[in-house]
Amino acid sequence: MNSGEKKISPRMTEKEARAGLDARLPEIETFANQFPGYEIKIEIPEYTSVCPRTGLPDFGKITIIYEPRHLCLELKSLKMYILAYRNLGIFYENAVNRILEDIVRACQPVKATVIGEFNPRGGIKSIITATYPRPKGRKKIS
């Protein structure tokens, strides 16, 4: 561990906690929205990634709910984007928030929610929800 690297827990560094956040992923393409004021819900039941601590595969379902402004997400490119997580070491919490940030960057929606429902591991099931716009007073941790 570098002398300037913050230790999160007795066994985890800041670098380990940020695993996968800076990975290069395929671009999410968009197309012009033709109608105002409606919601799109996309379910991706076969999400996979890799636990950065154990190297074991993680499985889950990602649900994206958004209200498009001027652009809609193109589904084939979204599929390729999600498939890129398959061999990526990333924590659940980071994956859900990264997906949300990349969706917002791609289509600048009125609002968006990403929900990750991950298969139980060791008897514990995790459900992570991230929303845009972020609740007032909550800023990204640097």
Pairing of strands 124-132, 12-13: unpaired
Is 72 a catalytic site residue? no
Q: 111 in helix, strand or coil? A: strand
25-59 exposure pattern, b = at least 16 Cβ within 10 A, e = fewer: beebbbeebeeeeeeeebebeebebbebeeeeebe
User: Considering 22, 58, 102, 107, which one is annotated as catalytic?
Assistant: 58
- Please tell me which residue in 22, 51, 72, 107 is annotated as part of the active site: 51
Supply the residues annotated as catalytic.
Answer: 51, 58
